[in-house]
Amino acid sequence: MAASALPKFSDLYELKEELGSVTGGELFEDIVAREFYSEADASNCMQQIIESVNYCHQNNIVHRDLKPENLLLASKSKGAAVKLADFGLAIEVQNDQPQWFGFAGTPGYLSPEVLRKEPYGKAVDIWACGVILYILLVGYPPFWDEDQNRLYSQIKSGAFDYPSPEWDTVTPEAKNLINAMLTVCPSRRITAAEALKHPWICQRERVASMVHRQETVECLKKFNARRKLKTVLACLVKAIFEVAYASVACSLPTY
């Protein structure tokens, strides 16, 4: 959500009603419908995301489930504000002291420290932002494998790169910010406040490229289609499981 509209942690139970005014749909779906999308546009999107994350962190809130599905637009108007959604896994932390809060999040966006079941804190949101930024620039994620164990191994080792030719047209400053966000050691990872001061964010007009990224848009369309299919399949599996469980429960004798 926009920083000015984000409720305090004690008011998060009202978030569902607050989100009722969000009518613009998903950010990633909006991007693929645009006639023009550049690195500078990606910078603008990321600035809004980080501003909201920074507001959360200033209030000792960790979202824990940042991903494309939870990046919504306030309205269908051009240039509508990007808002964070779904605080169902959000936690309140004590300052910057890492703790083990349990395993939570979405596989491709989980940080190395969570996968290692180590104490964690605000830095997990920054890792997820790094994954999102990577996708915003080329349309596919930095870590990917159909096998979840191999995917987690990639993440824990921070094994990603910038393949040619799609990354050849991305500025060094953008890659520098991604590197800072996807730093395996959480204590060395850039913070939200620091990210807002990064040249690629605060000096966008001078640093970020204004060239239309058609290849990114095409890749994003495929990426959106895959994640939508995964969501449908997950819902189907859940429904089948619930029906099966209900059938078994009904067949058990009562005493």
Of 243 and 183, more confident = 183
Q: Which pLDDT belongs to residue 1? A: 47
Q: Which pLDDT belongs to residue 19? A: 43
| pLDDT tens, residue by residue, 229-246 | 666 556 666 667 666 666
Q: Is residue 41 flagged as an active site residue?
A: no
CATH of the domain spanning 3-223: 1.10.510.10
Is 61:30 a contact under the CB 8 Å cutoff? no
Q: Which residue among 65, 96, 147, 161 is the active-site one?
A: 65
Domain residue spans of the chain: 3-223
Of 244 and 117, more confident = 117
Can you give the pTM of this predicted structure? Answer: 0.85
CA–CA separation, 99 vs 103, rounded Å?
A: 12
Q: Which pLDDT belongs to residue 174? A: 98
| Range of lowest pLDDT (19-28, 156-165, 184-193, 197-206) | 19-28
Contacts of 224 (CB under 8 A, 6+ apart): 28, 29, 32, 68
Contacts of 40 (CB under 8 A, 6+ apart): 204, 205, 208, 209, 210
Number of other residues whose CB lies within 10 A of the CB of residue 213: 24
